[in-house]
Amino acid sequence: ISVKYRKDYKPSAFLINKVSLNFELFDDYAIVTARMMLQANPAAESSGALVLDGEELELQGIEVAGQKLVQEQYEVDSEQLTIWLNKIDGLDYQQASFELVTKVKIYPAQNTSLEGLYLSSEKFCTQCEAEGFRKITYYLDRPDVMSTFTVRIEAEKKKYPHLLSNGNQIEHGSLANGRHYAIWQDPFRKPSYLFALCAGDYDLLEDHFTTRSGREIKLEIYVDKGKLEQCHHAMESLKKSMAWDEEVFGLEYDLDIYMIVAVGDFNMGAMENKGLNIFNTKYVLAHPETATDQDFEDVEAVIAHEYFHNWTGNRVTCRDWFQLSLKEGLTVFRDQQFTADQTDHAVKRIEDVKVIRSHQFAEDAGPMAHPIRPDSYIEMNNFYTVTVYNKGAEVIRMYHTLLGTDGFRRGMDLYFERFDGQAVTCEDFVSAMEDANDYDLIQFRRWYSQAGTPEVTVTSEYDELHKKLTLQIGQACPDTPGQSNKQPFHIPLKLGLLDKDGNDLPLELASNKEQLTGDILHLTEAEQTFEFVGVSHKPVLSLLRNFSAPVRLFYDYNDQELAFLYAHDKDSFNRWEAGQRLFARVIWQLCAEQEAGEPMQFPLHLVNAVQNLLSDESLDGRFKALALTLPDIKALIEEVERVNLDHLIAAHDFLKRELAKQLEMDWLVHYQANHHVGAFKQDKAAIAKRAFAGVCLSYLVALDKPKAYELAVSQLVNSNNMTDAETALQLLMHSNYSQKEQIADDFYRKWQNEELVVNKWLSAQATDPTDSTIERVKGLIEHPAFDIKNPNKVRSVVGAFAGSNLPQFHRNDGKGYVFLAEQIKQLYSVNPQTAARLTGAFNRWKKFDDERQRLMCEQLQGILQLPDLSKDVYEIASKALG
């Protein structure tokens, strides 16, 4: 097992100027002929060996410059084809370009890894990022080798009427034996990871978009037969994304056609192949009866994300995979801004920060911690992480905060001006931002090289006499695997000082005024003191507004200050944040009471704070829903060194139940006022009401009373939309309701032919925190609705159980761990990527008590003993054990 290091990057010894691929597709195999024009790379050391990547290929023939090669002239192993160019008569490979032709046989129908060319619902499709192209043909499968592609596809006409690839179709026609062909040409040079091919019989939704320069673009969405009416939202989202990128970044689409194909078997969300995106059906199909409001938002966001990659990823791509955040962090930031513009900025920000706190902070503090630009990897697929994507987006957001909207745009413009058509590095991006704004980002660069979540500690002192506020601010970053003694980061800390009415006081520093720009304080040293003058009275501090940096903030708030911020902060993010801190303090206090053997006491001061927020008519329903939801247990676990999980879960449940009891009438009144029966609407107001009503219902169900169950059952049975139905289903399935089996059976009977809804049904059961779940999930694995080869199914049952059912996954008897390990064993050779993702559920074992630690390590050790373990799973399990 070899480790790849960023420091070892070397330009490719050869370049590929042009490639033509010919695919002859048959039901049980495919023949791929590749014709490439190669040349020695003037920027690299020349060598007589041309080394091409290739895996799981049956080589049928090679020709170089028209000569058939014989055995002494090349060598093949399980990962590479080496051609000894210096053994080919008359070939002057250093002076002139030369042609290489290879022919291979592959078996897409047997390809369960969902990487390379494979079949999904009897249709051919591809997934080449990161290193899947090498399972299709021998190639220089690295992102800095960019070439123009011409692709000919031939297949049986009846079974595969649509033959698609990147770019524009330039020819098609019929062949003998009921076969046909199509030829596609992509005028843009691209790396192999952006190659795509789809062949099958689809339903097609067509539309068009006129760019602001007046070009007409054909838009096409291909889906499984019968799913057309579920594609309209995706199409609208695509058009919105195209318009937004023109308006906000001045970026227009460049080909004449943009195609999206939806497939049921897919390892991730979607893939931005040039002109031919391939999507997981989950992120294309949406109809109110089968998809929730959240699903609609997710579809819009993923469509946008893949579309935005056309510039940030495709036109300017990555030099090597260590630079992945160059395209992913930037594109996530762009899709987050897009969604915020379509929905609500505060709500979107809170949702994004929740992901950072629950998942990214955990990754940053665990065995897989890595900087957003990793230094090494064993399997690249393991580095499509929340750190590279979401922390990467936070880093991009900090440029936006530091440089402002206009400065950020200037940086982006210069980035495209300098690097369009090239494969570049994160450093190239930073220098564009720096040069376009004449702004020093030397220290800021540390965000790319240092892993771990910085901890910022603030203390304050108010001097009544001189109207002065002194903030003492320290920053430190914990050690992470392979990194210690981190240097201070440049942290933009957005802040406000609130007067007694909740208004912001003016901000002015006594000295070093450059350390404050607007409401951004620049933290650059391990310890800093900031003196604010003219502070008319003792303020309440609103720190890290809008979560202006991906850090953990420590400040000793008291309950009154938090309640005040929860009620008054102008910064909606911090208003939510104050509520979360308030809840978290209570939860930890309840844990301490259990630790001391005392009964848990509900602090009554919370009632007022929650009641005020609940009845604040000025607030958006989605914001209220978030502000009334207790902190995620996963995020709470990240707040402490080691956790007593049983106490934490008991405290969380207790607080939920007490709030439910204390405010029973309020929850009911607000539920009734917001739960809508009657014609379905999907405007912002209706979505907000559904979200708010859903949280009210969750408190009512926590009462464990027949009346509350009746409400939930009635919502489920009478709903005309999946948002209400899924909320009610989950609440009932996770409760002690005596007839939940019946509820589950009825739901399945109703929706058994809608795969994406069945997945919701699977997860609702897998996340049931009650004791019988372990037996239930074992049953689900055997259910006809489950298929281990389909990652959506695996995620819905096994992923949901291990990732979102803390009480049952972490059962004291270890049965949850055994179940997960068993599934990994079944999956690692079928789909190594998905198996590796599941293995990550053991990563935080060090957080738990000794017995749970022992039980988890036992399973990890068992996994490492598996025969022919894939490097994907090996990397995660071996790093977890340290």
**Do you find a cis peptide bond into 766, omega within 30 degrees of 0?**
no
Query: Of the ranges 211-219, 253-261, 262-270, 481-489, which one interacts with ligand HT7 (CB under 6 A)?
Result: 262-270
**In a 10 Å sphere around its CB, with 0-12 CB exposed, 13-18 middle and 19+ buried, how is residue 536 labelled?**
exposed
CB of 380 to ligand HT7, least distance (A): 8
- Least Å from the CB of residue 135 to ligand HT7: 12
C-alpha span between 740 and 127 (Å, rounded) = 40
Q: Which residues lie closer than 8 Å to 161 by C-beta, 6 or more apart? A: 200, 201
Residue 363 Cβ vs ligand HT7, minimum distance, rounded to whole Å: 17
Residue 381 found at the interface with ligand HT7 (CB under 6 A): yes
Taking the least distance from each CB to ligand HT7, the nearer of 327 and 670 is 327
- Count interface residues toward Zn ion (CB under 5 A): 2
Nearest approach in angstroms of CB 390 to Zn ion is 11
- Choice from 321, 384, 564, 667 touching ligand HT7 (CB under 6 A): 384
Asked whether the beta carbons of 379 and 371 are under 8 A apart, the reply is no
Give how many residues touch ligand HT7 by CB under 6 A: 15
Is residue 515 a contact partner of residue 402, using CB atoms and an 8 Å limit? Answer: no
Query: Is the Cβ–Cβ distance between 349 and 400 less than 8 Å?
Result: no
Q: Which of 159, 400, 385, 127 is nearest to 270 (CA)?
A: 127
In the region spanning residues 448 to 487, those forming contacts with ligand HT7, defined by CB under 6 A, are none
Q: Which of residues 313-372 bind ligand HT7 (CB under 6 A)?
A: 328
C-alpha span between 333 and 338 (Å, rounded): 9
Q: Alpha-carbon distance 191 to 250, whole Å?
A: 24
Nearest residue to ligand HT7, by Cβ distance, number only: 268
**The one segment of 64-72, 127-135, 463-471, 599-607 that binds ligand HT7 by CB under 6 A:** 127-135
Touching Zn ion, residues 313-372 (CB under 5 A): 328, 331
Under 8 Å between Cβ of 384 and 324 = yes
Q: Is 574 in the site for ligand HT7 (CB under 6 A)?
A: no
Residue (139 or 692) nearer to ligand HT7, CB? 139
Query: Strand pairing of 197-200 and 216-223?
Result: unpaired
Among 73, 102, 113, 127, binds ligand HT7 (CB under 6 A): 127
Among the listed residues 154, 272, 306, 577, the single catalytic one is 306
Q: How is 12-54 classified by DSSP, letter by letter?
A: -SEEEEEEEEEEEE-SS-EEEEEEEEEEE-TTS---SEEEEE-
By a kind-dependent CB cut-off of 5 to 8 A, residue 267 interacts, out of Zn ion, ligand HT7, none, with ligand HT7
* Residue 211, helix vs strand vs coil: coil
Could you tell me which stretch among 1-9, 122-130, 466-474, 532-540 binds ligand HT7 (CB under 6 A)?
122-130
Report yes or no: 154 and 23 within 8 Å, Cβ to Cβ: yes
Q: Which of 15, 52, 88, 130 binds ligand HT7 (CB under 6 A)?
A: 130
CA–CA gap between residue 681 and residue 679 (Å, rounded): 7
At its nearest, how many Å lie between ligand HT7 and the CB of residue 227?
21
Q: Which residues contact 710 (CB under 8 A, 6 or more apart)?
A: none
DSSP for 573-585 reads HHHHHHHHHHHHH
Bridge-based pairing of strands 123-127 and 147-156 is unpaired
Is the Cβ of residue 674 or residue 839 nearer to ligand HT7 in the bound state?
839
At residue 80, the 3 state secondary structure works out as strand
- C-alpha–C-alpha distance, residues 448 and 326, integer Å: 10
Kindly state whether residue 271 participates in binding ligand HT7, applying the rule CB under 6 A.
Answer: yes
875 binds ligand HT7 (CB under 6 A): no
Nearer to Zn ion, 273 or 331 (CB): 331
For position 267 contacting ligand HT7 by CB under 6 A, the verdict is yes
Nearer to ligand HT7, 31 or 830 (CB): 830
Partner in contact with 384, chosen from Zn ion, ligand HT7, none, beta carbon below 5 to 8 Å by kind:
ligand HT7
Nearer to ligand HT7, 268 or 369 (CB): 268
Residue 288 CA: distances (Å) to CA of 38, 204, 221, 223, 695: 51, 20, 19, 18, 20
Cα dist from 155 to 20, 31, 177, 222, 261, whole Å = 17, 11, 10, 18, 18
- Residue from the set 220, 272, 569, 620 that interacts with ligand HT7 by CB under 6 A: 272
User: In angstroms, what CA-CA distances link 857 with 58, 481, 864, 878?
Assistant: 40, 18, 10, 11
Of 53 and 272, CB closest to ligand HT7 = 272
Closest to ligand HT7 by CB, 539 vs 840, is 840
Kindly state the tokens that stand for 183. 């030829």
Our finding on whether 133 is near ligand HT7 (CB under 6 A) is no
Residue 734, SS3 per DSSP: coil
Our finding on whether 268 is near ligand HT7 (CB under 6 A) is yes
Q: Rank residues 114 and 507 by Cβ distance to ligand HT7 and give the closer one.
A: 114
Does position 131 bind ligand HT7 by CB under 6 A? no
> Could you say whether residue 237 binds ligand HT7 (CB under 6 A)?
no
Shortest distance in whole angstroms from residue 132 CB to ligand HT7: 7
Nearer to ligand HT7, 14 or 874 (CB): 874
Minimum distance between the CB of residue 267 and ligand HT7, rounded to whole angstroms? 4
Secondary structure tally for the chain: helices H, strands E: 29, 32
Name the packing angle between helices 293-308 and 684-702 (round to 10°): 130
Nearest-approach distance from CB 308 to ligand HT7, in angstroms: 9
Nearest CA among 187, 202, 229 for reference residue 121 = 202
Segment contacting ligand HT7 (CB under 6 A): 184-192, 264-272, 571-579, 779-787? Answer: 264-272
Q: How many CB atoms lie within 10 A of CB 560?
A: 10
| CA 804 and chain centroid, separation | 16
**Binding string, 293-312, against ligand HT7, x = CB under 6 A?**
------------xx--x---
- Whether 306 is catalytic is yes
Q: How far is the CB of 352 from Zn ion (least distance, A)?
A: 15
| Site membership for ligand HT7, residue 872 (CB under 6 A) | no
CB closer to ligand HT7, 130 vs 668? 130
Residues at the interface with ligand HT7 (CB under 6 A): 127, 129-130, 267-268, 270-272, 305-306, 309, 328, 381, 384, 833
Can you give the binding site for Zn ion, defined by CB under 5 A? 328, 331
The residues that are catalytic are: 306
